[in-house]
Structure 1
Amino acid sequence: MTNLRLLANGEIDAALTLADAVHPDGRAPAIGRVYECYIQVAVRPASPILHLTDLRGRRVDLGLVGSGSAATGEQLLRTAGLTPGVDIAVEHRRLATAVQALQRGEVDAILWGDEVPTPAFEQPMRLRLLDLAEWVAPMYQGSGYPYDTLSVPASTYPGSAAVDTVGVPTLLLASAELADHAVTCLAELLINQGDLLVPLHTIGFQFLDRRWLVGTGRVPLHPAAAAYYRAGHG
């Protein structure tokens, strides 16, 4: 969504977006594969919800309208046979507000995509993550995008058990009009100062080295970025 629309309209020159949302036609080439986004679904620890399909008839917050994780979340729910707005009541909040709504019982589950642990949890709270491993292959079959299976360690959040979840890379894209030298500067920034972009104590930001930056999948690398990676970094 929103970032892709702004990029297509020429309102911004570069954008971070989830790879499953990007059309592989090269109109918005990638500067690099930056990090892995963990799609996470959380419920209260004592909730009777044990599986994704248990969300039928429940209230679920999917995050802000237009966000990539909300779109991926809808794909996940539809894959599980849950139509948003029909089988579940969908709400949209910023993550920090959604966490509070979950604590107060205003929603039954929250879905978001980010690194783990997620910095938006300013005050660590007890929650239970749903295991989503069984939906990774069906999501690929339904959408054509090869999602990853990622492991979330136990106690990532207070009291949480280890689970597997859905992963999707986050790409840094360039507009078609962005000058080659600007693309090169951004690629250089990712290579040489990428560690400054990585929050401490997170495990979802593992792609800030040349081996992973170039792994943009079906989205082609911008020629200037590809040339920079080849010339200076093999």
Structure 2
Amino acid sequence: MNRPSRRAVLAAGLGATATALAGCSRHPRPVRRLRLATGPEGGPYNAFGKALALAVGASGLPLEIVPVSTAASVDNLRGLDEGSAELALAMADAAEDAVLGRDSFPTPAAGVTALARVYVNYTHLAVPAGGPVHAVADLAGRPVAAGAPGSGVRVVAQRVLRAAAPAGGAAPADERPLGLAPSVAALRDGAVDALFWSGGVPTPSLSALARELPLRFLPLDAYVGPLRARHAPVYTAVTLPAGVYGLTDPVGTIGVGNYLLARADVAEGVVRDLLRVVFDRWRDLLREVTAGARLEPRFAISTGRVPLHPGAAAYYRAVYG
């Protein structure tokens, strides 16, 4: 019987030790599992969350991101404040409301912090191109899909409708609390005369609808000033470009930033690791969310009244000075 030589035994032992050490070096810390409150299935927040989970999973970090489907911004901020999620995506206006304790938030959400402003939502107000609605004021008494309860779409839709209402009057529309998919179906079927949406450009379900039903997108840029004065400077003037949704001319509308947020008690090292992945893989993260967007540090740190997480502040100082 041939016995292995001492040299072979030692080599095998050293190889096993090296393999074990390599495994330890890949995961020197326990894997941290973070729940990320996103949005409804098929929506841009959900797509971003799934892409981030895949990017973190491929990074080799001892970190797992678990996307959680929600109604979106307002629900996400409540979950972050209550501790049912460690991370969240939310529109800037809803995030400032949460931090300041106003409108949907009766008390300030003290533990909500920002990691980055990741991209801008474009407010869409779509009506059938052959219909009688040409301006927000024409929606008086008409059924309008105004976003699902707990969503950021609903926040901006209600603010636009109230800004368009006569002084002391009611909102100039019959608001229907519908998410994107039910809104698209309702507009297609004639159950509503208009739909609000806030998201990237183009939004695939609206592109699909425009191929079935020619759409008119109402200009909303005139409401940027009133919304900024009444609510927050998070609102900006942006443009739906010609070519999307069959538009022959650009349409001015309202832009609202989207924030990646975290509870303040998430460890600083975890936040730094996560942001490294976000900035390394931003093209993959935004590919299914909005065309042509870029993630740049000077843009990412613009989070208004929502304070940066200490780990995020340390990351930006270390990497960008």
Taking structure 2 as the reference length, the TM-score comes to 0.68
- Are residues 119 and 76 of structure 1, via their aligned partners in 2, closer, same or farther at CA, if it must alter by over 3 Å? same
Q: Which residue of 2 aligns with 1:12?
A: 85
| 2:199 counterpart of 1:117 | no
- Between the aligned partners of 2:171 and 2:195, the Cα distance in structure 1 is 17
* Stretches of 4+ aligned residues off by more than 6 angstroms: 82-85
Is contact 2:126–2:194 with CA below 8 Å preserved after alignment? Answer: yes
Shift of 1:56: 0.7
Over the matched positions of the two proteins, sequence identity in percent amounts to 37
Instruction: Give, in whole Å, the separation in 2 of the partners of 1:132 and 1:109.
Output: 14
2:297 counterpart residue number = 210
Post-superposition Cα deviations, 1:112-164, rounded to whole Å, max 9, x if no partner, equal 10001102336251211000011100111111334100011112102453111
Which of 196, 206, 230 lines up with 2:317 in the alignment? 230
Q: CA shift at 1:65, angstroms?
A: 0.9
**Correspondences of 1:77-226 after superposition (within 5 Å):** 77-81=161-165, 87-121=172-206, 123-125=208-210, 126-159=214-247, 161-199=249-287, 202-203=290-291, 205-206=293-294, 208-226=295-313
Q: Which amino acid aligns with 1:226?
A: A
Q: 1:220 & 1:226 partners in 2: Cα distance?
A: 9
Q: Count the aligned residue pairs.
A: 233
> How big is the shift at 1:214?
1.2
Q: Structure 2: how far apart are the matches of 1:30 and 1:163?
A: 31
* Structure 1: gaps spanning 5 or more residues: none
Runs of 5+ consecutive residues of structure 2 not aligned to the other structure? 1-73, 101-109
The 10-residue stretch of structure 1 (190-199 or 210-219) with the greater mean CA deviation from structure 2: 210-219
Q: In the superposition, relative to structure 1, how do residues 218 and 67 fare at CA in structure 2: closer, same or farther (>3 Å)?
A: same
2: CA distance between counterparts of 1:146 and 1:215? 10
Between stretches 95-104 and 21-30, larger displacement belongs to 21-30
Q: Could you state the TM-score of these two structures normalised by the residue count of structure 1?
A: 0.91
Larger Rg: 2
> Is contact 2:92–2:234 with CA below 8 Å preserved after alignment?
no
User: Following the alignment from structure 1 to structure 2, what is the Cα–Cα distance between the partners of residues 200 and 177?
Assistant: 30
RMSD: 2.2
Q: Which amino acid aligns with 1:71?
A: V
Higher mean alpha-carbon deviation, 74-83 vs 129-138, is at 74-83
Judging changes above 3 Å, is the alpha-carbon distance between structure 1 residues 114 and 201 closer, same or farther for their aligned structure 2 residues?
Answer: closer
| Equivalent residues of 1:30, 1:222 under 8 A apart | yes
**Counterpart AA for 1:205:** A
Structure 1: how far apart are the matches of 2:289 and 2:89? Answer: 21
Residue identity in the other structure for 1:177: D
